């Protein structure tokens, strides 16, 4: 495995040799390259401070890179604003919970369609997300604040898909969730991919995220340290020790 992805065929989202940081502080990303193929899940893992969330902020236009390029479907979108990138087909689900708890599930989801003018298109997207996330259909009229954390995250996913994005950026979707809700979230990430949406995922639960992902990138000190098929990264013993936790360690000794 190399420290840069080399996939076959075209890539939907590409961050090429990106350097980025905040204000006058030192660089967070130092010549980083990440590529996301269509209809795939690419997972970014690594220690705290490696720059994972910064990658998503640069990709979505929230943070301008100091150098490098961002391509969306082959088109240079390096200096576009988040609203422009949303219209171009890139959606960003931020870290933590972002539902409006005093509003209904339907109102939260429909906020994601604020750029759409065609009522029939909106209705089609509502039908699509209801089928993709059954809890959204089941709790359509309920207050979002009455839902569990995992259910609220599915509402956020549904809202992000209302504009038919080609790429969705997910920042720590399992944060603060119990194991059952976490499992549901990763199942829904896989469903998004299977429905044709590419996903760039940042997740501290590295092992579970890589089990869902097609490709993985291990970040360290603002660079891609290792990249390749997620299944291969899971089997890498050195990677397991450094970044994933060695779950065999407690079972290797006998009296």
Instruction: Write out pLDDT tens, residues 64-122.
Output: 999 999 999 999 999 999 999 999 999 999 887 788 999 999 999 999 998 888 999 99
Q: Which range (112-116, 151-155, 162-166, 207-211) has the least confidence?
A: 112-116
Q: Is 171 inside any structural domain?
A: yes
Task: Provide the pLDDT for residue 236.
Answer: 85
Task: Provide the pLDDT for residue 208.
Answer: 92
Residue scoring higher pLDDT (238 or 5):
238
Distances 185 to 1, 60, 111, 194 between C-alpha atoms, Å: 29, 22, 21, 14
Residue 10 confidence (pLDDT) above 60? yes
Task: Provide the pLDDT for residue 246.
Answer: 55
Q: Is 255 inside any structural domain?
A: no
Q: Is 254 inside any structural domain?
A: no
Structure tokens at 39: 């209809």
E-only strand ranges, the chain: 13-21, 27-36, 41-45, 67-72, 75-76, 90-93, 167-171, 198-202, 215-220, 223-229
Closest CA to 211 of 189, 242, 181, 237: 189
Q: Is 252 inside any structural domain?
A: no
Q: Is 219 inside any structural domain?
A: yes
Residue 247 confidence (pLDDT) above 60? no
**Cβ atoms within 10 Å of 45's Cβ, excluding its own:** 28
pTM given for the model? 0.86
Structure tokens at 45: 């893992």
Q: Is 54 inside any structural domain?
A: yes
The CATH number linked to 176 is 3.40.50.300
Q: Is 169 inside any structural domain?
A: yes
- What domain range is 207 assigned to? 13-244
Cα–Cα dist 110/29, whole Å: 35
Tell me what percent of the residues of the chain surpass a pLDDT of 70. Answer: 90
Q: Is 8 inside any structural domain?
A: no
Element (H, E) at 83: helix 82-88
Residue 5 confidence (pLDDT) above 60? no
Residue 250 confidence (pLDDT) above 50? no
Structural domain count of the chain: 1
Asked if 151 and 101 touch (Cβ cutoff 8 Å), the reply is no
Distances 112 to 12, 164, 230 between C-alpha atoms, Å: 22, 10, 31
3-state SS assignment for residue 203: coil
């Amino acid at each position: 495995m190399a420290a840069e992805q080399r996939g076959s065929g075209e890539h939907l989202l590409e961050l090429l040799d990106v350097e980025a940081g905040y204000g006058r502080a030192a660089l967070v990303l130092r010549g980083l390259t990440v590529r996301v193929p269509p209809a795939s899940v690419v997972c970014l893992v690594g220690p705290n401070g490696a720059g994972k969330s910064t990658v998503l902020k640069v990709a979505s236009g929230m943070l301008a890179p100091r150098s490098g390029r961002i391509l969306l479907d082959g088109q240079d979108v390096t200096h576009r604003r988040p609203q422009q990138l949303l219209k171009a087909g890139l959606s960003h689900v931020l870290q933590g919970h972002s539902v409006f708890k005093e509003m209904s599930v339907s109102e939260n989801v429909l906020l994601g369609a604020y750029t759409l003018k065609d009522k029939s298109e909106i209705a089609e997207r509502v039908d699509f997300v209801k089928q993709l996330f059954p809890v959204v259909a089941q709790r359509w009229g309920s207050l979002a604040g009455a839902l569990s954390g995992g259910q609220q995250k599915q509402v956020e996913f549904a809202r992000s898909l209302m504009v038919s994005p080609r790429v969705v950026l997910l920042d720590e979707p399992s944060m603060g969730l119990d194991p059952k809700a976490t499992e549901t979230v990763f199942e829904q990430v896989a469903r998004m991919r299977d429905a044709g949406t590419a996903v760039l995922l940042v997740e501290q639960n590295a092992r579970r995220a890589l089990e869902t992902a097609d490709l993985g990138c291990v970040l360290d000190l603002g660079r891609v340290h290792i990249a390749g098929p997620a299944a291969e990264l899971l089997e890498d013993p050195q990677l397991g020790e450094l970044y994933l936790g060695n779950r065999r360690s407690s079972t290797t000794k006998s009296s």
